[in-house]
Amino acid sequence: MNPTQTEKENRIETADKPAERFAHTNQEKKRSENRRRASKYMNDLNRRNAIGDMLYMVGFWVEYVGVCVRRKVSTVVRGIADTVLNLLLIVLRPILIGLITLIEDLASPFVRIASGIRHIHELPAQLEDSGAGEVRAAKARYLASGIRKYSVLLWNAVTYILPAVAAAALVVVVRGGLGLHFVLNVQVNGEHVGAVESEQVFENAREDVQSRINTAKRMLQAAGSDAADTNWDVYPTYTLAIGGQTMTESEIANAILRTASDEIINGTAVYVDDQLLYVTTEGDHLRTYLENVKAPFEDSMDSNVYTAFAHNIRLVDGVYLQKSISSYADVISALTEGGGIHTYTAVEGDTVQSVVYTTGVSFDSLAQMNPELLTLDQEIPEGTVLLTGASSAELIKVKVVRRDTETVPIPYDTQNSESDQYDFGKVVTLQEGVDGSEEITYETTMIDGTVTDRQAVAYNVLQAATPKITVTGTKLKSGMVAKIGSGSFIWPVPGYKYVSRWASLPGGHRGADICAAYHTPIIASDSGTVIAAGWHYSYGNYVEIDHGNGYKTLYGHMSEIAVTQGQAVTQGQTIGYVGSTGNSTGNHCHFEMLRNGVLFSAYTLFPGM
């Protein structure tokens, strides 16, 4: 081998060794990576197995508990169902047995009768060799035997049927009785005079008869006759009867009088306010007279005006005792008593103005009745007689009722609420209020030209009022939320002894001095916000509260202050204690009240303190 070849081989060998080392290193890396992956896979596999085992155990126990609960619930439900069923059987068994017994008792007689009839029909076939007489005898014996044997069954059925029949008969009788129309047959001295619908009609008729008799007595006494010598006793009675024609109160009263006395006459009674005052035979003339009295006040062209007598006057035609009859002239005289012309006689120094003041009659009315009166300052000679009006007789005063309609506003309401979105005491209007309107119909009653009554009889809303909606702020600068005062105050020193003096306004003492023992609690008279809490040369230790609704209160001469400025307080909360600080000569609470910045005395709210 030559040196050159040897050197070349050495170089080749030297070059191949690093390649082998590099290949060996890559194989080691691959084997390491495979081992790492295998280890990771095994770890993941173990972890998955652990999680699977855990989930399997959870599912197993959940299923097991569910099965146990279902079994227990099924057992309880079956137990309850069995208990309820047993109770139902205990309750229903007697009822079912009773129903079955009832059906058997009612059906057994009919079943036996049907069976007996069937056997009786079969006897001729069974006794073919017997004569007709023997067959009839056999049927009779069979029938008698069945009656003796099953009479008990028939009696059981009858005991059920008879009560039902009796109940049905009772219903029929009661319904028939209720459907009957009963009336009262009226008798006088045992003589039937007629029938009325009810006891109330009878009582009213009897009162009417007695009223007519009393009128006759009064007329006799007015004439100087002795009413006691006349037989006035009328005692109508009644009995219950079925059906018949009935009479009204007036008709039965007439019939009673016709039966009770032969001294009766047809006439017309004058009732004033439901009291019988007079009886006349000139009823038609009296009606005409009364219509003529009302005629001047009537206005047929105005449907809103109607007239009537101030007193309720009724004319009732009927039969009356002759002793009660008054002449037509006497009735008219009695009805018109007290009416006439009103006058005024002037005195020295009278003027039209003084007459108006004295009589109460307006100038326009005086001028219409006395054309010579021209002005209010006109002098009237002494002794001059002036017409001041006319009045109707008391019993036949005419009232004129006028119906008129007015449109009036409906004031709107204010609805206020509180909100912590706005500063304390600030009032924000969310909706302006608008008045509504309504029509009110009045009835005005005038008697002799004077208004005696005015009443609202109907209301008709034309436009509903729109409420004013406001919000009052409760937010304080300190971040607290205050409560707006209610406007209703309480006494600030419940444990006080007496009030030494009240406010003397204007210009005098500003508040009430409420005397109490040292350190007696002072409370807020109403809810609000403390706007001052500190020292004042005159008030000493004092607290001032803004109630947010226009009111403020001040409490002075405290021995100790229990609140701070800007704090929200509620009604009744302790704000300090009675003392004698500042310009004070003894233990007391100086209590001031303001509304819209103006002082007012607490005595107006607490007069009994």
The mean pLDDT of the chain is 82
Confidence tier at 8 by pLDDT (50, 70, 90): very low
Least confident range from 70-79, 103-112, 463-472, 473-482: namely 473-482
Residue 197 three-state SS = coil
Provide CB contacts within 8 A for 254, sequence distance 6+.
318, 319
Give the Cβ contact number of residue 248 at 10 Å: 14
Residue 105 has pLDDT above 70, yes or no: no
Q: Is the model's pLDDT at 12 over the cut of 50?
A: no
- Is 41's pLDDT higher than 80? no
For 216, how many CA atoms within 13 A lie in the half-sphere containing its CB? 24
Q: Do the Cβ atoms of 244 and 233 come closer than 8 Å?
A: no
Q: What is the pLDDT of residues 52-67, one digit of tens each?
A: 778 778 877 888 888 8
Report yes or no: 601 and 503 within 8 Å, Cβ to Cβ. Answer: yes
Question: Residue 167: its pLDDT value, please?
Answer: 83
In degrees rounded to 5, what are phi and psi of residue 545? -120, 130
Comparing 149-153, 417-421, 570-574, which segment has the lowest mean pLDDT? 149-153
CB 389 within 8 A of CB 366: no
Q: Which residue has the higher pLDDT, 379 or 214?
A: 379
- Which of 506, 582, 568 has its CA nearest to residue 555? 582
- 230 near 220, Cβ under 8 Å? yes
Work out whether the CA dihedral 249, 255, 261, 266 comes out positive or negative.
positive
More confident residue, 352 or 420: 352
Residue 72 phi/psi, 5-degree rounding, is -65, -45
For 567, which DSSP code? -
Residue type, 99: L
Residue 274 or residue 539, greater confidence: 539
Average pLDDT over residues 123-142: 73
pLDDT band at residue 496, thresholds of 50, 70 and 90? very high
pLDDT digits (tens, 9 = 90+) for 404-460: 899 999 999 988 888 888 887 788 899 999 999 999 999 988 887 778 888 999 999
Mean pLDDT of 379-394: 82
Radius of gyration of the CA atoms of the chain, in A: 57
Q: Does domain 476-604 have CATH number 3.40.50.720?
A: no
Q: b vs e for 482-516, b when ≥16 Cβ sit within 10 Å of the residue's Cβ? A: bbbbeeebeebbeebeebeebbeeeeeebbbbbbb
DSSP 322: G
Residue 482: pLDDT band by 50, 70, 90 thresholds?
low
Residue 52 or 394, more confident: 394
Q: What angle do CA 91, 97, 98 make, to 5 degrees?
A: 95
pLDDT of the residue at 14: 47
Domain residue ranges of the chain, discontinuous segments joined by +: 185-335, 340-391, 398-471, 476-604
Kindly report the pTM of this predicted structure: 0.43
pLDDT tens digits, residue range 114-124?
777 777 777 77
pLDDT at 232: 61
CA distance 555 to 590: 6
* Residues 345, 370: Cα–Cα separation, whole Å: 13
The span from the CA of 231 to the CA of 227, in Å, is 9
Q: What is the pLDDT of residue 241?
A: 82
Name, in order, each residue with C-beta under 8 angstroms of 429's C-beta and a sequence gap of 6 or more.
468, 469, 470
DSSP string, 160-179: HHHHHHHHHHHHHHHHHHHT
Q: Sorting pLDDT into bands at 50, 70 and 90, what band is 15?
A: very low
Mean pLDDT, to the nearest integer, of 567-578?
94
Q: Residue 558 has what pLDDT?
A: 97
Contact 46, 53 (CB under 8 A): no
pLDDT, greater one: 396 or 390: 396
Under CATH, what is the fold of the domain 340-391?
Membrane-bound Lytic Murein Transglycosylase D; Chain A (3.10.350)
Residue 31, pLDDT > 70, answer yes
Q: Does pLDDT of 229 surpass 60? A: no
By percentage, how much of the chain surpasses pLDDT 70?
Answer: 89
- CATH domain 398-471 topology: Resuscitation-promoting factor rpfb fold (2.20.230)
Per-residue confidence band for 363, with pLDDT thresholds at 50, 70 and 90: confident
Q: Burial of 54 by CB count in 10 Å (0-12 exposed, 13-18 middle, 19+ buried)?
A: exposed
Length of the chain: 609
**Lowest-confidence region among 133-147, 193-207, 520-534:** 133-147
Check if the beta carbon of residue 555 is closer than 8 Å to that of residue 576.
yes
Give the model's pLDDT for residue 571: 92
pLDDT, average across residues 370-397: 84
